Amino acid sequence: MWSSPMLLSASTVFALLGLALVVIAGVSDNWLEYQVDRKNLQNALRRQSDLGTRLKDASVTNPLYFTRTYGKIHICFPEDVPSEIGSFSKFGGACITNPDYFPDAEQRDRYNAVQIQRLWFMRAEVVSYIAGVCIIALCLLCGIVGCYRRSAKMTLATALFLFFAVLFLVVSMALWHYVDYIERRLLEVPPFYRSWEQILRQTTRINFGWSYIVAWVGIGFIFFAAIFLLFSYKAIKDEEEQIYESKHAAYFQQYYDKSLVPVSYGGNPYGYGYYPPPSTYYGHPSYGPSNYYGYLSYGAQ
């Protein structure tokens, strides 16, 4: 099994990558692409004089008749730009702020129930996304402290908060999909899809953009970072238990009292002579040499 430093390092890498991807997706403006074939559109308007007369001004000023990409807040035009829309430059492209987030009072009074629902879901989607990013940033700070101190509690808390961040981001993505469903399937009032002219539907292709894909990849990285932090918590607890057992192993070892050491019959554990002394042989001393140590003595005197 991997050690806690390896797991903590892996979780840090995944969290940083996830945060970077989620932030890039949030500030970019390529979540949804509306690609309008203006060449075929203009040819159709020339062929049908009544339609051309009716849509003459709209084909020049209405953003629906131009290729555009949608972000969280902005609408950008990578090709032609509608006239008189007050665009500004962002990352080298012409963009406008999406007016649907804060409509004027007169326009909002004309909203039906579905439009009001869409308005609040749009706002909730952006708020949930921002909340998820902020939680991830706080988790990185807590995670750095937890890694430095090798604290199991802070590691577990960071993992749980990362799961909360993933939850907020997933809720944001779900709301984004629901808003898109409302715009394309439920609303039949301008400027939504079901109110478009037939020629505009035929010349427009709708795709998910790269920002949408990057956001999901970033959420996946953050989810795996939280998983690695849970494994790190388990590894830290196991390592702390091993250290505790190694430090206290000496207290659990068996202890033998010296007074209980068995002595064989006739043995001489002390460095003294026998009593009574053995019989004397010619040319030999009665006692043996006293210059040795018995295993229970401190040495012969």
Q: Kindly give, in sequence order, each residue whose CB lies less than 8 Å from that of residue 122, ignoring residues fewer than 6 positions away.
A: 100, 101, 175, 179
For residue 120, CA distances in Å to 73, 100, 124, 281 come to: 14, 10, 6, 118
3-state secondary structure 142-202: HHHHHHHHCCHHHHHHHHHHHHHHHHHHHHHHHHHHHHHHHHHHHCCCCCCHHHCCHHHHH
Q: Kindly give, in sequence order, each residue whose CB lies less than 8 Å from that of residue 262, ignoring residues fewer than 6 positions away.
A: none
Alpha carbon distance 164, 264 (integer Å): 73
Residue with tokens 């829309």: 85
For residue 184, CA distances in Å to 126, 187, 190, 212 come to: 19, 7, 11, 18
Instruction: Spell out a b/e string for 69-81, using b for 16 or more CB atoms within 10 Å of the CB, else e.
Output: bbbbebbbbbeeb
pLDDT score of 217: 98
pLDDT score of 147: 76
Tell how strand 68-70 and strand 204-208 pair up. Answer: unpaired
| Sign of the torsion angle spanned by Cα atoms 281, 286, 292, 296 | positive
Q: Pick from 13, 27, 223: which is nearest to 129 by CA?
A: 27
Alpha carbon distance 60, 204 (integer Å): 16
Cβ-defined contacts of 200-205 (< 8 Å, 24+): 200/36, 200/41, 200/64, 200/65, 203/36, 203/37, 203/38, 203/40, 203/41, 203/44, 204/34, 204/35, 204/36, 204/37, 205/34, 205/35, 205/37
Q: Are 81 and 87 in contact (CB under 8 A)?
A: yes
Q: Kindly give, in sequence order, each residue whose CB lies less than 8 Å from that of residue 16, ignoring residues fewer than 6 positions away.
A: 140
Say how many CA atoms lie within 13 Å of 162 toward its Cβ: 31
Alpha carbon distance 29, 280 (integer Å): 114
pLDDT score of 164: 96
How do the pLDDT tens digits run along the chain, 301 residues long?
678 888 888 999 999 999 999 999 999 999 999 999 999 999 999 898 888 889 989 999 999 999 999 999 999 999 999 988 888 988 888 999 999 999 999 999 999 999 999 999 999 999 999 999 999 999 988 888 877 777 888 999 999 999 999 999 999 999 999 999 999 999 999 999 999 999 999 999 999 999 999 999 999 999 999 999 999 999 888 877 777 667 766 565 565 555 555 655 555 555 555 555 555 555 555 555 555 444 444 444 4
pLDDT score of 299: 47
Q: Pick from 298, 297, 278, 296: which is nearest to 288 by CA?
A: 278
DSSP alpha helix (H) spans, 49-112: 49-54, 58-61, 105-109
